[in-house]
Structure 1
Amino acid sequence: MMSQVSGHSLLLDLGFLENSSFPYDYSENESTPCCSSPPCSHDFSLTFDLAFLPTLYSLLFFFGLLGNGAVAAVLLRQHRALSGTDTFLLHLALADMLLVLTLPLWAVEAAWEWVFGSGLCKVAGALFKINFYAGAFLLACISFDRYLNIVHATQLYRRGPGTRVTLTCVIVWGLCLLLAFPDLLFLSAQHEPRLNATRCLYTFPQTGHTALNILQLLAGFLLPLLIMAYCYTHILLVLLGSRGQRRLRAMRVVVTVVVAFALCWTPYHLAMLVDILIDLNAVSRDCEWESQLDVAKSITSGLGFVHCCLNPLLYAFVGVKFRGQMRTLLGRLGCPGQEALLRPTPSSSRRDSSWSETTEASYSGL
């Protein structure tokens, strides 16, 4: 990936995390004849990351915990059993919170070096990877649930025993743990002599890094995006053939969901695709261009992380009932002005599902 001095591991080269201009594989002897020219110098991208990443991670940490914590609090305070969509939303909020909880560690690494040892390097890297995949997979589950409800009038997770949604969540988390297993095995804190700093890095060779990047591109982005696009395209066709203001609101939510995911993550994965092509020698190397690509990966990965903060807005705050529930929670906590901040709508008490107009429409027999 890039030159041996670039390789850029925005949070330790975890696929989409591969963004700071740090070498990916430091185990190779520098005297080994690997190329016809010395490794590229990426002082510009390193300087950019030093100024950009710690600030970005700090902001995402605060807003990610605040927004997703609010979603989880409202869901957990409900006295009735959660619907399938609500359960997926709760797991999505937890995944996003766990993901942003690792950001302060990476902020310290970007500003200084990795000071937390190899054990925490493995745990933090695996935790980050697990929750990255979980976020994408849970979005796909929500899409599929709504697709069944609206297009086929099949309420798979609403009828019958609650073990169905529980089993689905167990499968999702189990698959994410399996995908993060290389992080537990191969991540460690290593001293990088060219940077004179310690980094949390993989210990396997370059081919392993390229394989992980391809896996993440396919499983963590393309597959969930294809599922969401397929499900929401069919949902839109049904909604466009119906009438009513509630259905129009549902259509807006559907479009926003898939567009937000695509806009937040497509730029980063396009940059990663170029990086993969460089690793495979399908694109010729150029030091200046590679340095600019490193900066692009830092910026676009930050945009991807912003999606963790957008999820509460897209999947919860647009729901008519959620605003009323959040207002009640703020009132119990003694927060002033909550009536104006989260004014409930007249229809918010009529539905037993809550989190989006799409879900409401589907459960009301659309």
Structure 2
Amino acid sequence: MSERQEFQASDFAYLLENSSYDYGENETYFCCTSPPCPQDFSLNFDRTFLPVLYSLLFVLGLLGNGIVAVVLLSQRAALSSTDTFLLHLAVADALLVLTLPLWAVDAAIQWVFGSGLCKVAGALFNINFYAGALLLACISFDRYLSIVHATQLYRRGPPTRVALTCVAVWGLCLLFALPDFIFLSSHHDNRLNATHCQYNFPQEGHTALRILQLVAGFLLPLLVMAYCYARILAVLLVSRGQRRLRAMRLVVVVVVAFALCWTPYHLVVLVDTLMDLGALARNCGRESSVDIAKSVTSGMGYMHCCLNPLLYAFVGVKFRERMWVLLVRLGCPDQRCHQRQPSASRRESSWSETTEASYSGL
């Protein structure tokens, strides 16, 4: 009898030592049939890749969007509706890249900034993610009305109309970011033995947020841009002319750049969501591949913040003139240096030849 009791005790100890039960703080169920997949490879990839990428995007995005904001603010009295949207877009992109150093530290080491900054950084990131996409949709709709219908919605309306539109966009983005303020927190992951900024709600809530980001932050703005620019292209092709052909090339680049930068990321997130819902089989190899793909494609999406100053401002004739005026003023305050400056007194947009075409008979 004593030998049997001794055997049972030793056998029980052996089972305890070799069981795959996870004693995490939030785990209330016993699961030993499907142990968590090892994440060593994807974590090592993130520690190496993300800090370098985020640091580079932080410098380029802050510099490019800062230049755009300074140039536009230097001509505040002559800003058109599109210029105003561009200014808010530059602010949104700059604020988004400002959060990247925090996420770089999170990827390289762990989250060391506490739950308060976790909520603020997560909400700030998502507010400006949504704002960037929605402001691009506003710009495309403004150009659509101007070129296709010859309607100057903001140019001929009350001066506060464009400001109210921007306030509505920022308010909507703030509403979308409320879950970040509520559910984001600094959480210690026992399995990874590290603290990270994570959502603290069930998987269903995480899936709902992903769907919201996909629809409101990508699909709807992309559909608006695609429709507006398709109609713009149709008008420009009928009107022909070298200036209009230059505008046609630009609007194609605008849509393609947004789609190329963000489509891969949202496709990967869609695959990950389908695995969470059980529509796709989950295995350790696929899970690791999806984790790495999310890191790479999210970096591609954030690169769009650096491309925006090039696509929406630096290719614009009026923007280059305004930047030249500002540089001359900074480098040579003498009035003689201003005699050969290009004129920037007309209320025309820094957008590109598209705007010039819209004001010249379309």
Q: TM-score, normalised by structure 1?
A: 0.87
Q: Does 1:355 align with 2:358?
A: no
- Which of 139, 145, 154 aligns to 2:151? It is 154
1:272 aligns with 2:269: yes
Higher helix share: 2
Q: In the aligned structure 2, how far is the partner of 1:46 from the partner of 1:324?
A: 47
**Inter-CA distance 79–291: structure 2 relative to 1 (3 Å threshold):** closer
Question: 1:36 and 1:259, CA in 2 relative to 1: closer, same or farther beyond 3 A?
Answer: same
Kept in 2: contact 1:27–1:203 (CA 8 A): no
In 1, the alpha carbon distance for the partners of 2:33 and 2:266 equals 29
| Superposition deviation, residue 191 in structure 1 | 1.1
The offset of 1:364, in angstroms, is 2.4
Alpha carbons of structure 1 residues 231 and 345: separation in structure 2 relative to 1, 3 Å: farther
Deviations 1:208-258 (A, max 9, x none): 101100111111110100000010000000001012211111101100100
- Equivalent pair of 1:190/1:200 in contact (CA under 8 Å): yes
SS of residue matched to 1:273: helix
Whichever residue aligns with residue 136 of structure 1, its letter is: A
Distance 1:179 1:207 in 2: 17
Q: Is the 8 A contact 2:321 2:344 kept in 1?
A: yes
Moved more, 77-86 or 263-272: 77-86
Q: Give the corresponding residue for 1:85.
A: 82
Once the two structures are superposed, residues 125-145 of structure 1 have per-residue CA deviations (whole angstroms, 9 ceiling, x without a partner) of: 100000000000000000100
Residues 275 and 79 (structure 1), Cα distance of their counterparts in 2 relative to 1, 3 Å cut = closer
Q: State how many pairs are aligned.
A: 332
Checking the alignment, whether the CA contact within 8 Å between 1:354 and 1:360 is kept in structure 2 is no
Report the AA paired with residue 120 of structure 2: V
Q: 1:181 — aligned with what?
A: 178
Secondary structure in 2 matching 1:333:
helix
Return the letter of the residue paired with 1:360.
Answer: E
Question: After superposition, what is the alpha-carbon deviation per residue over 1:154-203, rounded to whole angstroms, capped at 9, x for unaligned?
Answer: 11011121111111111100000000000000111111112221111111
Rounded to whole Å, the distance in 1 between the matches of 2:175 and 2:31 is: 33
**Equivalent residue for 1:341?**
none
CA distance in 2, matches of 1:261, 1:229: 10
Residue matched to 2:209: 212
- Map 1:337-348 onto structure 2 (within 5 A): none
Q: Structure 2 CA distance, aligned partners of 1:234 and 1:197?
A: 51
CA distance in 1, matches of 2:60, 2:312: 16
The answer to whether 1:49 aligns with 2:46 is yes
| Structure with bigger gyration radius | 2
Contact 1:320 1:345 in 2 (8 A): no
Q: What is the alpha-carbon root mean square deviation over aligned residues?
A: 1.9
Q: Is the 8 A contact 1:45 1:295 kept in 2?
A: yes
**Same amino acid, percent of matched pairs:** 76
Task: Determine the C-alpha separation between the residues in 2 that align with 1:187 and 1:76.
Answer: 35
Letter in 1 for 2:159: G
Q: Of 15, 26, 29, which aligns to 1:28?
A: 26
Unaligned runs of 5+ in 1: 1-25, 336-343
- SS class of match (2:34): coil
**C-alpha distance in structure 2 between counterparts of 1:120 and 1:221, whole Å:** 26
2:114 maps to 1:117:
yes
Letter in 1 for 2:349: S
The residue aligned with 2:69 is 72
Residues 277-314 of structure 1 deviation map (CA, whole Å, 9 limit, x = unaligned): 01110001110111011101100000000000000011
Aligned equivalent of 1:300: 297
Match of 2:7 in 1: none
* C-alpha contact 2:41 2:288 (8 A) present in aligned 1: yes
